Structure 1
């Protein structure tokens, strides 16, 4: 499986994503600079955390206008699995690939610690190796992770089972404790917590590795069907 890790000016979790895919998972991974114009040929795309463009204007706003994002939209439409974490989630929202917005944390402080997440939807290609309602330990590191959407959008997310992860103890004020959501098509996942930082026991948790393994297992199943 070939992973593309998109790198923007200010990304600082790109190596973490690269390590998760290449070393922890044992698959191919390539760092792709934001000025590239094509993501064709990759089996999955990872949008890392950090502070793209210094978080000027709004987090992820400037990155969402980068040349690579045009191809990202095309790959999303084609069904390519896309995972956006932290700033990557913010970029997916700003690019219109997921609904809602991310606001400043309710206490207006940067948060950096492990959180307990609840797997609300294990019927996705990102979560199929988790149990439904499984509690997992994944770290957060953000100042603007307070997920917001209007009531109509929230009801749509619930109706379509698009809420993938919630916080057990909501640290940032997110509506309905939301920590991660998926698009209606089921191939674009955005989440604030960092699964790539929870792939080895030495890091404090291996719970994030199941997410990447789920992507691999589902890709292999799909590949076998198309062979």
Structure 2
């Protein structure tokens, strides 16, 4: 997987990870805390920003951007910051979309498929077992394929859908990042909980890794490894 030179990672400072806030974001502070706990510097980015301020990676956090009007992520996709993220992702910047952030990435065309209403039509909130399908992404480098982890889910529109030819291509290219294990909470096709881009730098997933970073708050620290994975990659690129 090709690495992109990090803007700040080679300057003696910790890598800088931008965390976007949209109107309606709920988990931006949690994502920033996870970035800091992993050893990077969180940089707040506003939805109206056209400049990413030289960050080395981006997190689009969970929440209800613009109130989820029209459909989840549909309005956020047109915000100035997402335009900047799309351009930077095309140049290889690592991007992580969590829950609503995953929805935004799909709406913006950075990831295939779409997120729709849960099959049961109810909001689901629980600790969820997941199976890691690939460690070959910017955000899962510290995981092993087949490894099972526990990360919370909390969403009402998390059912991942994609047409059969695109699903076959996604599977053939090993771009399913995580699948639900021990029960599918939303009816996602093929138990898919997260996918990645063709260059493996952009990852979207419905579970919330920023809520699994400390033993005190539970459930364990499996989620923290996603943030340390990208940090390790940035530091290696800058070495």
TM-score range, shorter chain: over 0.9
- Tell whether the 8 Å contact from 1:118 to 1:135 is kept in structure 2 after alignment: yes
Who is 2:44 aligned against?
A: 31
Question: Partner of 2:216: helix, strand, or coil?
Answer: helix
Who is 2:9 aligned against?
A: none
Q: How many angstroms apart in 1 are the aligned matches of 2:78 and 2:137? A: 28
Who is 2:212 aligned against?
A: 198
Who is 2:123 aligned against?
A: 110
2:70 aligns with one of 41, 46, 57: 57
Who is 2:233 aligned against?
A: 218
Question: Partner of 1:46: helix, strand, or coil?
Answer: strand
Taking CA–CA contacts closer than 8 Å with sequence separation of 6 or more, which of the two structures ends up with the larger relative contact order? 2
Who is 1:99 aligned against?
A: 112
| Cα distance per residue 1:92-137 (max 9 Å; x no partner) | 0011110101111110000011000000001222111112211000
Shift of 1:197: 0.5
Runs of 4+ in 1 over 2 A off after TM superposition: none
- Tell whether the 8 Å contact from 1:40 to 1:75 is kept in structure 2 after alignment: no
Who is 1:19 aligned against?
A: 33
- Tell whether the 8 Å contact from 2:39 to 2:228 is kept in structure 1 after alignment: no
How many positions carry a matched residue from both structures?
A: 223
Alignment of 1:92-171 (within 5 A): 92-168=105-181, 169-171=183-185
1:47 aligns with one of 60, 67, 71: 60
- Tell whether the 8 Å contact from 1:114 to 1:139 is kept in structure 2 after alignment: yes
Q: How many angstroms apart in 2 are the aligned matches of 1:123 and 1:62? A: 31
Shift of 1:26: 2.4
Q: How many angstroms apart in 1 are the aligned matches of 2:139 and 2:39? A: 17
Between 87-96 and 25-34, report the one with greater CA deviation. Answer: 25-34
- Tell whether the 8 Å contact from 1:49 to 1:85 is kept in structure 2 after alignment: yes
1:175 aligns with one of 189, 192, 203: 189
Question: Partner of 1:90: helix, strand, or coil?
Answer: helix
2:83 aligns with one of 50, 70, 74: 70
> TM-score, normalised on structure 2?
0.92
Task: Write 1 or 2 for the structure with the bigger share of helix.
Answer: 1
| Cα distance per residue 1:177-219 (max 9 Å; x no partner) | 0000000011110000000100100121200011111111111
